[in-house]
Amino acid sequence: MAISLPTISTLRRFALGLCLAMLGSAAVAQEAGISGPIEGDVIGGISNPTAIAVPDMPTPRAVDTPAGNTADLGRQVARVIEDNLRNSGFFNPVERQFLRDVDMPQVTAPDYPAWSQVGAQNLVQGYVQAGSNGRLTVGCYLYDVFAQAPLERAGYEVDYADWRRAAHRCADMVYARLTGEGAYFDSRIVYVAESGPKDNRVRRIAVMDTDGANHRFLTNGQSIVLTPRFAPDGRTITYMSYLNDEPRVYIYDVESGRQRLLVNAPYMTFAPRYSPDSRYVVFSMAVNGNSDIYRVAVSGGQPVRLTNTPGIDTSASYSPDGRRIVFESDRSGGQQLYVMNADGSNQRRISFGGGRYATPEWSPRGNLIAFTRLGGGFRIGVMRPDGSGERILTNSWQDEGPSWAPNGRVIHFFRTPRGNALPTLWSVDVTGRMIRRLPTPVGASDPSWSPLRN
Amino acid sequence: MDRAERIALGAAAIGHVALFAILSVTLLTREELPRREAVAVTLSDDIGAFASAADRPAPAAERRDLADEIDVMDPPDIEPLPQPSITPTPAPPRPAERRTERRPETRPERRPPREQRRTSRIAGITDGIGSTNDSGTSRSQAPVSGADRSNLISRIVNAVRPCYNLGSLSGTSAEDIVVRLRIQPSRDGSLSRSQVSVLGARGVNGSNRQYESQMVEAARSAVLNPRCPMPPLPDALYENGWSDVVLNFIPAQLT
């Protein structure tokens, strides 16, 4: 086109001037009664949990299965979905006394006015069906009641024993669609279960679903165990054990239940964490009173030292792209957070907020690092990987050990009250809202979230 | 129409023609489409694709046909999940896991019919609006003054705002997104989804793009929420007034 840039620029300036002139004339015109949309600003939204209805799911044919009758399962699947959504803090399920019975035809054709009447903004419906292949199918449908429109649907086929997972997946679909966040309900938590008096405490590694179901102890409590961490592929767990009074890092195979030593060295090894590809473990090793961070293949082999400074370097955690590692070090006098490249180069301090910082964990989104801030109590906080934007999320006597949910929106940590009381697990939203206790059968510390299950 | 009005209208008409010509030339140099078009199309596609059979309440007479559609209409893709890895024993349904105690919740308010609400709430609400005609009987298309338009939009914004619920989006980068909606209520004050259109969203960037649909839906839900209906507005000011409304949903004061 044969139009020179200065000409375009001039035209744009003229257009801008004309726009401004038009604004003036429009104002005059409006006063004179010109038609056209009236326009205004709705400034400042509120923040309340969304009202959502999760009625019992019907079954096309009531069939007895190893997990119970499909009619009962339909009710229980709805309860699991409802509890997941409620516990996220973002949803306020309509009380069951106001829910209507849903039959199969209504699953795909909801009675919107009726659901609107009970105050539901969104509606989750579905069905539970026993398949001829010995598996259970759960259909899951999400609707926008106000807009009278379906939003999303999905179906899940599971073994009967895994019916809760189908419910979690349905809740994940709803959560992800309505919040814009990633899913996280269909995941597990490994943690240290604590029982007994403080001077003779029994510590066992335990694993449970995110909602506390399917709880299981993995170790027998004869040895003290610390810092269990799920592998990103969910197949193994690494942790530190005082087995035979020698504190060492072990790898636990979830499938087989077998455990093995990670590094065969005559030194204390501790604070392990996996690389994002699950191929390596970074850990700390104390050699002659100096603790540095090392990396070793999960299968074993010769560890590679990544730090080499006087003092204690520990709590290493990979960035999700595997290119950097955040860790804590007292090389400057007190514990502070540092970031380095995955090969140990370019180490630099990122925490400067006063007090001490410990147990960092890099968010699965990569945008934040969660940590424990020490000084006037222990608190959970987050900051960007360059150390900026620090925010403290909790305020209690002793909150520590943050672990990110797979979606990078929720953080688990453990809280220890004053005195001899047992610690407990808690979760907090990354915005600092919705702090909630997670139910565990006994005391609990050192939580680590699994990845989303396949 | 007096002289001043004619001058104003003339100026506006000439200005529109000139602006159209200028922008037509300048837009030729633009490489990307206006953001708001992409938003509207995306949302429409998302919703429309699912809207066919289940997009309306099913009268009892239709239920039999719809029952057949469960098989006929494309069912959800079934996603097989792998064998259990950590809990191999079948978990029977455990009634004990059900919550026997529910958190106290506010009983959902059952709304009276719109006409009843309008009657009960009308006292004092229309003060200052359309004082020339508030009977609701006139269908006059008389010009609506700037003051009336200002009062109308103020009433509408005040009615909608309590239902502009950001929920999980609050405190996130989603709050940088401003959604622009156009609503065209019926004369009786009712508003359905088809009378709401998305004109665009601005402030969308790499860090909050994941929340774009949710922000649009939060705005749409605000105007469709039956708890926040259109306020009673004078019928005389419907045409050229509240029959066509544009609302900008601004989550927080931007700096």
Q: Residue for token digits 């958190």?
A: B103
**Cα B30-B32-B34 angle, rounded to 5 deg:** 100
A113 and A262 inside one domain: no
Coil, helix or strand at residue A61: coil
- The pair phi, psi for residue A309, each rounded to 5°, is -135, 155
Task: Indicate the residue among A138, A161, A179 that finishes a domain.
Answer: A179
Average pLDDT, chain A: 89
Residue A150 in any domain: the answer is: yes
Task: Decide if B9 and A32 are in contact by the 8 Å CB cutoff.
Answer: yes
Averaged pLDDT for residues A144-166: 94
A227 and A158 inside one domain: no
User: Which residue segments constitute the domains of chain B, with CATH numbers given?
Assistant: 140-255 (3.30.1150.10)
Pick the residue with more confidence: B12 or B124? B12
Residue A169 in any domain: the answer is: yes
A305 and A271 inside one domain: yes
ipTM surpasses cut 0.85: no
Q: Residue for token digits 């308010």?
A: B109
Q: Can you read off the two tokens belonging to residue A176?
A: 């992800």
Coil, helix or strand at residue A6: helix
How near does any CA of chain B get to the CA of A220, in Å? 16
Coil, helix or strand at residue A54: coil
A102 and A206 inside one domain: no
Of A37, A46, A162, the CB nearest to B162: A46
Distances (CA, A) of A152 to A27, B65, B88: 44, 22, 31
A175 and A263 inside one domain: no
pTM here is 0.77
**Cα B128-B129-B131 angle, rounded to 5 deg:** 80
A352 and A307 inside one domain: yes
Round to whole Å and give the CA distance between A24 and A329. 63
**Cα B204-A175-B63 angle, rounded to 5 deg:** 110
How near does any CA of chain B get to the CA of A328, in Å? 28
Residue A301 in any domain: the answer is: yes
- The pair phi, psi for residue A387, each rounded to 5°, is 90, -5
DSSP A81: H
A99 and A195 inside one domain: no
A372 and A301 inside one domain: yes
State the pLDDT confidence band at A232, using cuts at 50, 70 and 90.
very high
Residue A19 in any domain: the answer is: no
A316 and A255 inside one domain: yes
Task: Indicate the residue among A179, A199, A224 that finishes a domain.
Answer: A179
- Whether the Cβ atoms of residue A137 and residue A131 lie closer than 8 Å to each other: yes
Which pLDDT tens digit goes with each residue over B42-91? 222 332 233 343 333 333 332 222 223 333 234 456 655 554 333 333 33
Residue A42 in any domain: the answer is: no
Return the closest-CA partner of residue A192 out of A401, A433, A430, A408. Answer: A401
Q: What per-residue confidence (pLDDT) applies to B22?
A: 57
Residue A13: burial class (beta carbons within 10 Å; 0-12, 13-18, 19+): exposed
Return the closest-CA partner of residue A248 out of A229, A231, A265. Answer: A265
CATH number at residue A402: 2.120.10.30
Of A18, A28, A160, the CB nearest to B90: A160
Q: What per-residue confidence (pLDDT) applies to A437?
A: 94
Coil, helix or strand at residue A35: coil
A194 and A97 inside one domain: no
DSSP A332: T
Chain A residues lying within 8 Å of B160, measured CB to CB: 42
Instruction: Give the domain extent around A367.
Output: 188-449
Chain B residues lying within 8 Å of A116, measured CB to CB: 226
- Whether chain B has a CB inside 8 Å of the CB on A48: the answer is yes
Which pLDDT tens digit goes with each residue over B2-52? 665 776 666 666 666 666 665 554 444 443 333 333 322 222 233 223 334
Round to whole Å and give the CA distance between B101 and B94. 16
A92: nearest CA partner in chain B: B105
CATH number at residue A103: 3.40.50.10070
A412 and A373 inside one domain: yes
- Whether the Cβ atoms of residue B129 and residue B237 lie closer than 8 Å to each other: yes
Residue A1 pLDDT greater than 50, yes or no? no
Task: Indicate the residue among A161, A179, A197 that finishes a domain.
Answer: A179
Of B8, B152, B226, the CB nearest to A29: B8
Averaged pLDDT for residues B216-223: 95
Residue A128 in any domain: the answer is: yes
A284 and A171 inside one domain: no
Chain A residues lying within 8 Å of B28, measured CB to CB: 1
Distances (CA, A) of A71 to A62, A123, A160, B126: 5, 20, 13, 53
DSSP A14: H
Task: Decide if A47 and B171 are in contact by the 8 Å CB cutoff.
Answer: yes
Return the closest-CA partner of residue A411 out of A426, A399, A396. Answer: A426
Q: Can you read off the two tokens belonging to residue A94?
A: 């309509």
Chain B residues lying within 8 Å of A39, measured CB to CB: 153, 245-248
Among A169-178, A185-194, B47-56, B191-200, which stretch is predicted with the lowest mean pLDDT? B47-56
Residue A143 in any domain: the answer is: yes
Q: In chain A, how many domains are there?
A: 2
Q: Can you read off the two tokens belonging to residue A150?
A: 């379906």
Residue type, A11: L
